[in-house]
């Protein structure tokens, strides 16, 4: 683990695995309220395919600093840019899951896609988490406010609720307990202020700035970011490819683990 200082002094935890002279690089951005650990079951497949895998904990999550503020998409995108510049990454794939997908989209607009050769959006919270005139499939602001209120009073209960709607398939209790532990490891400030960002932020206009090959990977049973959002992203990102997972929920990366990993590596390697 590396600790890289962002431009406001916050220390961002970074995990850099694989040969440093590798020409194939992928950068992974986790979702809310997870950490880099969510990609545990993608890591072996990516390393086996010959990738250098760089992941990070967003500020306020995992091992990164909890800060008093700064939990907005612009700040997260700037943190990501600092990590990329510090590591000297110039040609890489950028993958974002859920809120991390929205942050990846903001990075593409705010930093003109610096270094990105391909983009992967996995059950992304884009174009917005909540309903807008451009996104009729999002969650309601009122329901999100209720989640914010619950989290401010009983954050583990909020995480348990999200865990209950995260998957469309049955998974073992030990696995679900592990995932709950990852969620609970987030800082209170980071988790709750990021949920406010999810409620308020919109990357619809940013989608049109994307000019790299883009794969959209989305569970058709997603109850957190409904599949209609994937169709909007597909329509707005020129030349994008949509990979639906018919029996998967928000956690398509685990609901359909083998097929997801196969499809992802195939897209990276131009096999599909």
Closest CA to 138 of 125, 148, 150, 149: 125
pLDDT of residue 270: 87
The distance of Cα 173 from the centroid of its chain, to the nearest Å, equals: 24
Let me know if 250 is a catalytic residue.
Answer: yes
Residue where the block lists tokens 């959006």: 121
Range 62-66, long-range pairs (CB < 8 A, 24+ positions): 62/13, 62/30, 62/35, 62/36, 62/37, 62/185, 62/186, 63/1, 63/13, 63/35, 64/10, 64/11, 64/12, 64/13, 65/10, 65/11, 65/12, 66/187, 66/189, 66/190
If DSSP codes are grouped into helix, strand and coil, which group holds residue 20? coil
Check 206, 250, 255, 256 and give the catalytic one. Answer: 250
Active site residue 205: no
- Point out the catalytic residue in the list 222, 240, 255, 256: 222
pLDDT tens string, the chain, 272 residues long: the values are: 999 999 999 999 999 999 888 899 999 999 999 999 999 999 999 999 999 999 999 999 999 999 999 999 999 999 999 999 999 999 999 999 999 999 999 999 999 999 999 999 999 999 999 999 999 999 999 999 999 999 999 999 999 999 999 999 999 999 999 999 999 999 999 999 999 999 999 999 999 999 999 999 999 999 999 999 999 999 999 999 999 999 999 999 999 999 999 999 999 998 64
Which two tokens mark 53?
């895998």
pLDDT score of 271: 60
Q: Is 43 helix (H, G, I), strand (E, B) or coil?
A: helix
Provide the number of structural domains found in the chain.
Answer: 1
Residue 187's region, left for phi above 0, alpha for psi from -120 to 50, else beta, is beta
Domain harbouring 53, CATH code = 3.40.50.1820
Residue 140: which domain range?
A: 2-268
Nearest CA-CA partner of 233 in 214, 256, 259: 214
234 is an active site residue: no
pTM of the complete model: 0.97
Q: Per the structure block, which two tokens stand in for 51?
A: 């990738």
Burial class of residue 63, CB neighbours in 10 A (0-12, 13-18, 19+): middle
Q: DSSP letter at 58?
A: P
**What confidence score (pLDDT) does residue 91 get?**
96
From 98, 128, 187, 194, active-site residue: 98
């Amino acid at each position: 683990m590396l600790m890289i200082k962002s431009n406001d002094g916050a220390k961002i935890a970074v995990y850099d695995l694989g040969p440093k002279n590798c020409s194939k690089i992928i950068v992974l951005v986790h979702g809310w309220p997870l950490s880099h650990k969510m990609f545990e079951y993608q890591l072996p497949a990516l390393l086996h395919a010959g990738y250098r895998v760089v992941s990070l904990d967003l500020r306020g999550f995992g091992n990164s600093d909890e800060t008093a503020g700064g939990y907005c998409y612009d700040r997260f995108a700037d943190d990501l840019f600092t990590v990329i510049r510090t590591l000297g990454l110039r040609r890489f794939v950028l993958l974002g899951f859920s809120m991390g997908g929205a942050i990846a989209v903001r990075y593409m607009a705010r930093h003109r896609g610096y270094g990105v050769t391909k983009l992967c959006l996995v059950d992304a919270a884009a174009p917005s988490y909540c309903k807008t005139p451009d996104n009729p499939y999002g969650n309601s602001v009122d329901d999100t406010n209720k989640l914010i209120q619950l989290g401010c009073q009983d954050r583990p209960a909020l995480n348990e609720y999200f865990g209950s709607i995260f998957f469309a398939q049955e998974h073992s209790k030990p696995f679900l307990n592990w995932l709950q532990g990852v969620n609970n490891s987030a800082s209170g400030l980071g988790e709750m202020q990021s949920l406010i960002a999810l409620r308020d932020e919109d990357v619809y206009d940013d989608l049109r700035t994307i000019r790299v090959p883009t794969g959209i990977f989305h569970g058709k049973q997603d109850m957190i970011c409904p599949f209609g959002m994937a169709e909007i992203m597909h329509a707005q990102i020129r030349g994008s490819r949509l990979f639906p997972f018919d029996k998967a929920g928000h956690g398509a990366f685990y609901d359909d683990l083998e097929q997801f990993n196969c499809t992802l590596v195939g897209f990276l390697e131009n096999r599909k």
